[in-house]
Amino acid sequence: MALPPPAQNQAYWTVSALESGHVQIPLAWILDSAREDEVYKTPSLSFLLRHSSRNDTFVVDLGIRKDLENLPSLVLEGHRQKNIVVDVPQDVSESLRKGGLDPASVRYVCLTHAHFDYSGDSRPFANATFILTGATRELVTPGWPADQKSRYSSDIFPQERMLVLSTDWWEPLGPFPRAHDLFGDGSLYIVDAPGHVAGHLNVLARTSADGAWVLFVGDSAHHVKLLRGEAGIADRPPWGCAHADKQQAEEHLGRIRRLAALPRVRIMLAHDLEWYEENQEGPAFFPGVLESF
């Protein structure tokens, strides 16, 4: 198993982390080793990617929106039932502006999935093309409030600026059976990442011209202990499982672990509290750059 070797004058992306809110959840909802009374207050990180040779900007996930009262009523009810606490001192748009970039100038946005702590507020990204799967489009159509039973707001994706990935585009890549070379230059791949929710994606990007990579895993791993094999995916009362399909989630997590074993591959979790505490307000955050392996 190997990733594609770099081409001559290989294009790549520089990566910067973005503050985009925090969420506190029961740890026993995501880790089978956690006590029932443990809580996990974690960031919900977004990431800005900038192309090495084109003036392209690409944002992975939009974190949490500040106007929580505009979330679907079923989402807010779920927060109360699970004692979920949300805090958004600075959302993704504010993080970009603070670093000197207008969200309206961003060219592409890819949400790994449409849950509230990743879908954020798309309105400031007024010119971006949003990348998603057909399965995700089905989840958000028609969306809330037209569908009062939906957990997804109808305004997550701008209808006139969606790039819906065709299943015909998938090809094997490294440990992953389904991936797509989005720009055709080998610099960034959209990876089908089943298990968590229908349409869930990972994003694999080159971070150097000579063979370094980063994989953004969304909710394929809610905690770094899952990536290290120090704990398993939880599925017990009263919380149940955080994934729609636990078996598929475990299989995909195994693929991520195999990728992580390759040289010069970084795995980035949106909910990595350990990484966040080590890097908060440091040079990895925009306008700084995450060091490439």
DSSP per residue, 203-226: EEEE-STTS-EEEE-GGG-SSHHH
Does 2 map to a domain? no
Does 5 map to a domain? no
CB 224 within 8 A of CB 169: no
What mean pLDDT do residues 246-263 have? 98
Q: CA-CA distance, 224 to 231, in Å (whole number)?
A: 9
Q: Tokens 């003036």 identify what position?
A: 55
Taken in order 247, 137, 122, 182, the sign of the CA dihedral is: positive
Burial profile 251-281: b = 16 or more Cβ within 10 angstroms, e = fewer:
ebbebbbebeeeeebbbbbbbbeebbeebee
Tell me the residue range of the domain where 178 lies: 13-279
Does 293 map to a domain? no
CATH number (domain holding residue 207) = 3.60.15.10
User: What does the CA dihedral 65, 66, 71, 74 come to, rounded to 10 degrees?
Assistant: 100
Does 177 map to a domain? yes
> Whats the size of the chain, residue-wise?
293
| For residue 140, pLDDT beyond 90 | yes
Does 184 map to a domain? yes
Percent of the chain surpassing pLDDT 90: 99
Domain count, the chain: 1
Using one digit for the tens of pLDDT, what is the confidence trace for 66-113?
999 999 999 999 999 999 999 999 999 999 999 999 999 999 999 999
User: Which pLDDT score, from 0 to 100, does residue 224 have?
Assistant: 98
Which residues are CB-contacts of 3 (< 8 A; sequence separation ≥ 6)?
173, 174, 213, 259, 262, 265
Using one digit for the tens of pLDDT, what is the confidence trace for 3-45?
999 999 999 999 999 999 999 999 999 999 999 999 999 999 9
- A 10 A CB-CB count for 223 gives 22
Does 285 map to a domain? no
User: Which pLDDT score, from 0 to 100, does residue 1 have?
Assistant: 72
State how far Cα 83 lies from the chain centre.
Answer: 23
Q: How is residue 57 written in tokens?
A: 């900007």
User: Which pLDDT score, from 0 to 100, does residue 262 have?
Assistant: 97
Q: CA-CA distance, 102 to 289, in Å (whole number)?
A: 17
Does 288 map to a domain? no
Mean pLDDT across the chain, nearest whole number? 97
Does 128 map to a domain? yes
Q: Which amino acid is at 92?
A: V
Taken in order 211, 46, 159, 196, the sign of the CA dihedral is: positive
CB 97 within 8 A of CB 149: no
